[in-house]
Amino acid sequence: MPASDDSAMRSLADVATLALEEARRQGASQCESDVSVSQGLSVSVRLGEVDTIEYQRDRGLGVTVYFGRRKGAASTADLSPAAVKETVAKACAIARYTAEDPYAGLIEPEALAREIPDLDLDHPWTLTPEAAIELARGCEGAGLGLDARLSNSEGSSVSTQRHTGVYGNSLGFLGGYSASSHSVSCTLIGQQDDDMQRDYWWSVARDPAELEDAVSIGRTAGQRAVARLGARRLKTRRAPVAYSPDMARGLFRHFIGAISGPSQYRKSSFLLNAAGEQVFPDFLSMQERPHIPRALASSPFDQEGAATHDRELVRAGVLQGYVLGSYSARRLGLKTTGNAGGIHNLLVSAGPGGLERGQFLQRLGTGLLVTELMGQGVNGVTGDYSRGASGFWVENGVIAYPVHEITIAGNLKSMYRDIVAVGSDVDVRGAIRTGSVLIGEMTIAGE
């Protein structure tokens, strides 16, 4: 780490420490502080012209104090000593007037991270606005030049972000790290007669060297937009439905929401008290791997300082436990799982391996391949699921034609049990890593 980074980290640690000392001085029985700085550059180009250039530089301090079981929190963007002390005072004033909560407080000391592994998350990109503009132009131009039917664009974007944060609490924990995130994206519009369709592609990575080539991103966006031209509506029916990897991620995001602590203790989950139950078919498992180097959801500790660790969340289709921070864990009479702030690299796996693209489509046979979803028609309490969709109709294992303006519906609980195949085309661009997913049958509403 460069000396300047060491200095920045020490400065943030000093702010966090000052907040903790001030909270104790003002009588707090427990306290925690989270201080961070972030900076970034985002550029967007449309039809070769610069649309936006945005510099972003943020900093902030969040302080939470406990007076017994009374909790107060305050935040500020001013990291000066006077502002830190004033913020702590406000948090303390709030705590003195809040009702007691028997579940409030810091995590149990034994859950704290004792070692902070270097996960190689910090790869700054010294990208100038001029270079970012040229990259975006090259991306968009490569897509538009692919086919004469690509008549318009919603633009191409290039973004680079870097975040440095330090978390500390009165249990003696003080830790921090820096992490970067970079992305390139493109959205293009194809037109044929009166038919107009849009589609997109993107790449995101911790290390800019691991981004997909900008020209390739533009061309993929163009290919996807052209492939959707001539889209039809389907007649209402029941049929197998496959999700492309980036759409399948959302299916499992609903699952994580249902087994998260707040959904469980509020009794607002379609998977209430489901630990130990068969939720998926027995060929499907899920592992959480928080320490994958350079992965987008890797973290050495969670938002409360709890150690993150490898974990089997679903084994042979059976749910092994919940996704908990300390508060929800106490509400449920359990222990934190190191997931305050969310899941860390959930890997969806299917037996000895997923199906290759051709095998997957053959397994689908005749049915729908979903490549885009619209709307938010998901009920987390009942599991009822209804989303607008577009994609491709597949016949006898071969893509026949594009489809749009349809709705797919089912219930997540039965949809999960009815998963019949997972593809080997794993998408690593998020916290959930999965291949394509095939569900045996769903309702497709159209004409």
Q: Please state the domain extents for the chain.
A: 3-227, 237-445
* pLDDT tens per residue, range 70-108: 999 999 999 999 999 999 999 999 999 999 999 999 999
CB of 321 within 8 A of CB of 129?
no
What's the pLDDT score for residue 17?
98
Burial class (CB within 10 angstroms; exposed 0-12, middle 13-18, buried 19+) of 346: buried
Question: Could you give the percent of the chain with pLDDT greater than 90?
Answer: 96
Structural contact between residues 388 and 374, judged by C-beta atoms closer than 8 angstroms: yes
Give me the CATH code for the 3-227 domain, please: 3.30.2290.10
pLDDT of 165 above 50: yes
DSSP code per residue over 80-123: SHHHHHHHHHHHHHHHHHSPP-TT-SPPPGGGB-S---------
Q: What is the pLDDT of residue 19?
A: 98
Confidence band of 277 (pLDDT split at 50, 70, 90): very high
The answer on pLDDT for 163 being more than 90 is yes
Cα–Cα dist 152/154, whole Å:
7
> What one-letter code names the amino acid at 129?
P
pLDDT in tens, 364-403: 999 999 999 998 889 999 999 999 999 999 999 999 999 9
Q: How confident is the model at residue 447 (pLDDT cuts 50, 70, 90)?
A: confident
217-227 tens-digit pLDDT: 999 999 999 99
Residue 424's φ and ψ, nearest 5 degrees, are -90, 0
- pTM of the predicted structure, to 2 decimals: 0.94
Q: Rounded CA gap, 76 and 82, in Å?
A: 11
Residue of 304, 204, 271 whose CA lies nearest to 414 = 271
